A and B are shown apart, each in its own frame.
Chain A
Amino acid sequence: GENVEQHPSTLSVQEGDSAVIKCTYSDSASNYFPWYKQELGKGPQLIIDIRSNVGEKKDQRIAVTLNKTAKHFSLHITETQPEDSAVYFCAASMTPSGTYKYIFGTGTRLKVLA
């Protein structure tokens, strides 16, 4: 079945350094790739997304890249800050039956060390 692999499962970086999280998806029909940040005690919050007709998207310190041929997409956080510490999830979207079905990765716990 469809799946999304996410690596690494944990990531520790020094404040100010960059962090990169990578995902690989299996279904070539996927065409929308959101990234969510989940802080302790909260639900996932969308931080950035990318569609299959775009190779890269940037929003301030956050960027996402997509390689459709290789079925890879990555989250890049530059100049990390302690408040970036959280669990990050990638997802690949399919569109059966009129709604959007997400397949999620297993999450990456990011720790930014002050």
Chain B
Amino acid sequence: ETGVTQTPRHLVMGMTNKKSLKCEQHLGHNAMYWYKQSAKKPLELMFVYNFKEQTENNSVPSRFSPECPNSSHLFLHLHTLQPEDSALYLCASSPSRSSGAEETQYFGPGTRLLVL
């Protein structure tokens, strides 16, 4: 195991539902990431948090709302999603660059999301 956990592992929701994805890392890292993985496409970076501050939003629609209450937890709040948002959502963590530590990102197992 990589030390990054994600819940739920599977989620089916309607377009009018509101749900949240949770990520927790037990590695002592300070940077956390959300990625979207769709079939036959590269992993798409969505959001980056460094020391709880959002440092990158990759033009993600506002129906995806991230939250990072502390360096160990990351949430992705979902509302009024579209069927094309169905994908595997991956969380990752890494040491912060300012720490001078290794920059390797460690991934969780992902949440498989299906929007009906």
A residues engaging B (CB < 8 A)? Answer: 4, 32, 34, 36, 41-46, 49, 89, 93, 95-107
Contacts and interface: CB of A to CB of B under 8 A. Distances in A.
Interface residues of B, number: 27
B94 A44 contact: no
Contacts of B108: 43
B48 A101 contact: yes
Contacts of B110: 42-43
A79 B104 CA distance: 27
B45 A43 contact: no
Interface stretch (B12-20, B35-43, B63-71, B79-87): B35-43
Interface in B17-61: 31, 33, 40-43, 45, 48, 50, 55-56
Contacts of B6: 43
Interface of B: 2, 4, 6, 31, 33, 40-43, 45, 48, 50, 55-56, 90, 94, 96-98, 103-110
A44 B110 CA distance: 9
B42 A106 contact: yes
A101 B106 CA distance: 13
